[in-house]
Amino acid sequence: MPPQPVPQQEYARVVLIIVLLFFLYASPDQGPPPGFPTARDYAAERIAVSRRSLDILNITKWQDFSPKGPDSSKHEAPRYLNLTGGKWRAVDGGENGLMPDVYENVTGIVAGRWVRHTADINGEPRKRVMNLTEIAPETDWAFRGEEYWIRNITGNEGKLMLKLDEKQAEEIGSVEDLPLSPVNAVRSAVATITIQDETSYGDGWEMRVHGLHWPKQGVMLFTTTSDKFHGIYGLPHLTPSREHYLSSQKLLNRTLEKAIEGMENAIWADPGNPFTSSPDNQGDATMPVPHCELVVYVQVYPLKVDLASGAGRLDPANIVHQIEQEIRFPNGAPIPDAPKLQMSTVMFSPDCGFVIESKGPPDFSPGDGEHLFGMKQELFLHDIRSWLHIFALVIFAQIMLLKIQSKEASTPSSSFGAIYVKFILGLTLLLFISLSSTSWPIPLRTFYVNTLSFIYLSIWLPQIRRNVIRNCRKALLWKFIIGQSILRLLPFAYFYLKEGNILFAETDWKAFCVLAGWVWVQIWVLVAQEIMGPRWGLPKNWYEEGWDYHPILREDNVEAGGLPIGLVQIPGSPTLERTRTSEELGRKKRDGGVRSVDCAICMQVLEVPVVGAGEDSNANAGGVTGMLARRLYMVTPCRHVFHSACLEGWMRFRLQCPICRENLPPL
**pLDDT bracket for residue 62 (50, 70, 90):** confident
List pLDDT tens digits, range 351-388.
Answer: 888 899 999 988 888 888 889 999 999 999 999 999 99
**pLDDT bracket for residue 198 (50, 70, 90):** confident
Q: What share of the chain is helix, strand, coil (3-state, %, to 5)?
A: 40, 15, 45
Residues 499-503: contacts with CB within 8 Å, 24+ apart?
A: 500/111, 500/373, 500/374, 500/375, 502/380, 502/383, 502/384, 502/387
**DSSP assigned state of 439:** G
CA distance linking residue 640 with residue 617, whole number of Å? 21
Question: Residue 270's Cα: distance from chain center in Å?
Answer: 34
* Alpha helix stretches (DSSP H) within 352-414: 377-408
Cβ neighbours, 10 Å, residue 270: 14
The pLDDT value recorded for residue 88 is 41
Mean pLDDT of the chain: 78
Residue 354, C-beta contacts closer than 8 angstroms, at least 6 positions apart: 116, 125, 126, 152, 153, 292, 348
Residue 628 pLDDT > 80: no
Q: Are 76 and 68 in contact (CB under 8 A)?
A: yes
List pLDDT tens digits, range 106-116.
Answer: 999 999 999 99
Q: Establish how many alpha carbons lie within 13 A of residue 305's alpha carbon, considering only the half-sphere containing its beta carbon.
A: 24
Give which of 207, 206, 212 is closest to 166, Cα–Cα.
212
**pLDDT bracket for residue 579 (50, 70, 90):** very low
CA distance linking residue 347 with residue 367, whole number of Å? 23
**DSSP assigned state of 291:** B
Which of 187-191, 319-323, 392-396 has the least mean pLDDT? 319-323
**pLDDT bracket for residue 607 (50, 70, 90):** confident
| 83, burial (CB in 10 Å: exposed 0-12, middle 13-18, buried 19+) | middle
DSSP, collapsed to helix, strand or coil, labels residue 223 as strand
**pLDDT bracket for residue 584 (50, 70, 90):** very low
**pLDDT bracket for residue 504 (50, 70, 90):** confident
List pLDDT tens digits, range 385-418.
Answer: 999 999 999 999 999 999 998 887 655 555 566 6
Residue 165 bridge partners (DSSP): 190
Residue 88, C-beta contacts closer than 8 angstroms, at least 6 positions apart: 240, 297
Residue 283 pLDDT > 80: no
The highest-confidence range among 73-82, 135-144, 508-517, 560-569, by mean pLDDT, is: 508-517
Residue 440 pLDDT > 80: yes
Q: Which residue has the higher pLDDT, 52 or 64?
A: 52
**DSSP assigned state of 150:** B
DSSP, collapsed to helix, strand or coil, labels residue 346 as strand
Cβ neighbours, 10 Å, residue 656: 16
Q: What is the mean pLDDT of residues 537-546?
A: 74
What DSSP letter does each residue of 75-106 carry, written as one string?
A: TSPP------TTGGGGT--STT---SS--S--
Backbone angles phi, psi at 587, to 5 degrees: -65, -40
Q: What is the 3-state secondary structure (H, E, C) of 593-652?
A: CEEEEECCCCCCEEEEEEECCCCCHHHHCCHHHHHHHHCCEEECCCCCEEEHHHHHHHHC
CA distance linking residue 244 with residue 242, whole number of Å? 5
What global pTM score does this model have?
Answer: 0.72
**pLDDT bracket for residue 618 (50, 70, 90):** low
**H/E segment holding residue 250:** helix 242-265
**pLDDT bracket for residue 10 (50, 70, 90):** low
What DSSP letter does each residue of 450-467 carry, written as one string?
A: HHHHHHHT-TTHHHHHHH
The pLDDT value recorded for residue 436 is 86
The highest-confidence range among 67-81, 135-149, 272-286, 422-436, by mean pLDDT, is: 422-436
Which of 84-93, 208-217, 411-420, 455-464 has the least mean pLDDT? 84-93
Q: What is the mean pLDDT of residues 338-353?
A: 89
Residue 586 pLDDT > 50: no
CA distance linking residue 76 with residue 123, whole number of Å? 30
**pLDDT bracket for residue 87 (50, 70, 90):** very low
Q: What is the mean pLDDT of residues 271-275?
A: 75
DSSP, collapsed to helix, strand or coil, labels residue 357 as strand
Q: Are 410 and 666 in contact (CB under 8 A)?
A: yes
Question: Residue 316's Cα: distance from chain center in Å?
Answer: 39
The pLDDT value recorded for residue 386 is 94
Residue 456, C-beta contacts closer than 8 angstroms, at least 6 positions apart: 488
Q: Which amino acid is at 637?
A: P
DSSP, collapsed to helix, strand or coil, labels residue 562 as coil
Q: Are 372 and 160 in contact (CB under 8 A)?
A: yes
